Amino acid sequence: MSFAENTGPLKGIRVIEMGQLIAGPFCGQLLGDMGAEIIKLEPPGQGDPMRVWGRGDYPLWWEVVARNKKAVSADLRQPEGQALAKRLIASADILIENFRPGTLEKWGMSPEALHAENPRLIVVRVSGYGQTGPYSSRAGFGGIGEAMGGWRAIVGDPDRPPSRMGVSIGDSLAATYGCMGALAALRHRDQTGEGQVVDSSLYEAVLQVMESLVPEYAASGYVRERSGSFLPGIAPSNVYPTSDGEYLIGANQDSVFGRLCTAMGRPELAKDPRYIDHVSRGRHQAELDALIGEWTKTLTIDALEALMIENGVPAGKLYRPQDMLDDPHFQAREAIIDFPHPRWGTVKMQNVFPKLSKTPGSVRRAAPPTIGHDNDSVYAEVLGMSVGEIADLKARGVI
């Protein structure tokens, strides 16, 4: 089901997505949002497990991660299924796969073999540990990458086991870096005509956003630890109690802290030696947080927010889905769209991001409702197969 014109910058780029679960499909979603044609290849009768993932009454994650995609099926355990996949890949600009390293090679689809047929092909390979190294053959999921990349050890409260985020951040980061690599590889191909392999591992994607965790240890032996809702030495920046909930304030820059003190009716605090600069506030972080908390709990969230806006202090509510749907800023920027769906009537979901001024991305197609939903059209239009040939492949379980 289509409902929007394709104005994206990647219009005309064909992507074969052979991934499943989160990392491969999210990489495909990002490219599809920006206008690429995404042909998702699934095993017949089985499909991507993402089809049944999600919470609540209905598994709606699929509607987000598979939007803008066409779905075809092929049994890659059969030589004929492998041959179909190779023919599709020969027509493509980008291949995305997130199987364990060596799986493509087992199917006769090593990058070298694929490049022999399509030298312009960009192969995005997302895996737990990368395509090389002593751990490359190990099974890897996002949470394991988060642990190895340093994320899990520093998330949560210090007196409890490490926490996880409420979303699959390791997979999403690896997918995002895979997408970034594909775009960089497209630029190289524009200049040289050469395709290449993009190797995006879960643990290195997480490592990339770990700030100065490694240099701090290497230079001075400092080891970051779990600290709960605040970052040690960055003050004030925390979630504070109010009379009707909780509210996040980030006033850790000197001039911003001064504005917070004015909002509190305590301008003298900005000159107090304990709080006069970044280092001093970090040393007295606990007492400063307690002082601010005693003030914020006398106010409602709305009253506190009004003061923060008036005084130019970065702050905000802890949004839940209903807050997002009701918020005028979300509405003005169309951060959440409400688009037609053949089964659900309409589905609300996050819009395409980032926003491009000349070539905006869009949600143009609902997620394919069934495995092999687009077999007939894709195999006919892309591979030139006849109705009879397609029917024969279906009858023999190849697609």
Q: Which of 171, 199, 289, 374 is catalytic?
A: 171
Return the pLDDT at 57: 82
Predicted local distance difference test score (pLDDT) of residue 373: 97
- Tell me the pTM: 0.94
49 plus 185 within the same structural domain: yes
324 within some domain: no
Q: Specify the CATH number for the domain of residue 156.
A: 3.40.50.10540
Domain that holds residue 53: 14-209+332-395
- Tally of domains in the chain: 2
Q: Are 386 and 68 in contact (CB under 8 A)?
A: no
Is 171 among the residues known to form the active site?
yes
Residue 29 sits in the same domain as residue 89: yes
- What whole-number distance in Å separates Cα of residue 64 and Cα of residue 1? 14
3-state class (DSSP) for residue 351:
coil
Do 336 and 291 belong together in one domain?
no
Q: What is the pLDDT of residue 1?
A: 47
Residue 7 within any structural domain of the chain: no
- 310-to-303, 371, 386 alpha-carbon distances in Å: 11, 53, 67
Task: Mark whether 153 and 90 lie in a shared domain.
Answer: yes
Spans of the chain, pLDDT less than 50: 1
CA distances from 188 to 13, 91, 120, 182, 191 (A): 15, 19, 10, 10, 5
Q: What pLDDT score does 3 carry?
A: 65
Shared domain for 122 and 169, answered yes or no, is yes
For residue 223, tell me if it sits in a domain: no
The answer as to whether 123 is a domain residue is yes
SS3 sequence of 244-267 = CEEEEEECCCHHHHHHHHHHCCCH
* pLDDT given for residue 161 in this prediction: 94
The per-residue pLDDT for range 233-256, each reduced to its tens digit, is 999 999 999 999 999 999 999 999
